[in-house]
Structure 1
Amino acid sequence: MDSKIKNVVFDLGGVLVNLDFDSCLNAFRTAGFTDIDQQVCQFRGKGLFSQFEKGEITPEAFREAIRKQTSQSLTDRKIDDMWNLMLLDIPREKLELLLDLRGRYMVYLLSNTNKIHWDYACEHMFSYRGFRINDFFEETFLSFEMHQAKPDKKIYELMMKEANILPEETFFIDDSEDNCKAAGALGIQTRHYHIGEDLSLLFE
Structure 2
Amino acid sequence: MKTINTVIFDLGGVLIDWNPEYVYLEVFEGNREKMDWFFKTICTQDWNENQDAGYPLQKATSERIALFPEHEDLIRIYYDRWEEMLGNAIEGTVDILKSLIGNTSYKVIALTNWSHETFPIALKRFDFLHWFEGIVVSGEEKTRKPFKDIYELTLKRYNINPEESIFIDDNLRNIEASRELGINGIHFESPKTLREQLKHYSINI
User: Normalising TM by the smaller chain, what interval?
Assistant: 0.7 to 0.9
SS in 2 for 1:171: strand
- Find the aligned partners of 1:95 and 1:195 in 2 and give their Cα distance: 12
Q: Deviation at 1:15?
A: 1.1
Q: Deviation at 1:97?
A: 2.5
Counterpart position of 2:152: 157
Letter aligned with residue 137 of structure 1: F
Counterpart position of 1:18: 17
Q: Deviation at 1:139?
A: 0.6
Counterpart position of 1:59: 57
Counterpart position of 2:184: 189
Counterpart position of 1:145: 140
Letter aligned with residue 23 of structure 1: Y
Letter aligned with residue 172 of structure 2: E
- Of all paired residues, the percent bearing the same amino acid is 28
- Kindly tell me: are residues 13 and 20 of structure 1, through their superposed partners in 2, closer, same or farther at Cα, counting changes over 3 Å? same
Q: Deviation at 1:170?
A: 0.5
- Find the aligned partners of 2:136 and 2:27 in 1 and give their Cα distance: 28
- Find the aligned partners of 2:147 and 2:74 in 1 and give their Cα distance: 36
Contact 2:14 2:93 in 1 (8 A): no
Contact 1:40 1:49 in 2 (8 A): yes
Contact 1:11 1:110 in 2 (8 A): yes
- Kindly tell me: are residues 101 and 122 of structure 1, through their superposed partners in 2, closer, same or farther at Cα, counting changes over 3 Å? same
Q: Deviation at 1:35?
A: 4.3
- Find the aligned partners of 2:175 and 2:75 in 1 and give their Cα distance: 38
Contact 1:80 1:116 in 2 (8 A): no
- Kindly tell me: are residues 109 and 73 of structure 1, through their superposed partners in 2, closer, same or farther at Cα, counting changes over 3 Å? closer
- Kindly tell me: are residues 120 and 178 of structure 1, through their superposed partners in 2, closer, same or farther at Cα, counting changes over 3 Å? same
SS in 1 for 2:11: coil
CA displacement 1:97-152 (0-9 Å, x = unmatched): 2222123211011111113441221111x22xxxx632x21110111111111111
SS in 2 for 1:85: helix
Contact 1:39 1:49 in 2 (8 A): no
- Find the aligned partners of 2:149 and 2:97 in 1 and give their Cα distance: 26
- Find the aligned partners of 2:113 and 2:97 in 1 and give their Cα distance: 19
- Kindly tell me: are residues 96 and 85 of structure 1, through their superposed partners in 2, closer, same or farther at Cα, counting changes over 3 Å? same
Contact 2:20 2:82 in 1 (8 A): no
Q: Deviation at 1:80?
A: 4.2
Superposition pairs of residues 1-204 of structure 1, within 5 angstroms: 4-26=3-25, 35-41=38-44, 43=46, 48-55=47-54, 57-65=55-63, 70-72=71-73, 80=79, 82-104=81-103, 105-124=106-125, 126-127=126-127, 133-134=129-130, 136-195=131-190, 197-201=192-196, 202=198, 203-204=203-204
Kindly indicate which of the two structures has a greater share of residues assigned to helix.
2
RMSD between aligned residues: 3.0
Gaps of 5+ in 2: 30-34
SS in 1 for 2:42: helix
Contact 2:116 2:138 in 1 (8 A): no
- Kindly tell me: are residues 71 and 64 of structure 1, through their superposed partners in 2, closer, same or farther at Cα, counting changes over 3 Å? closer
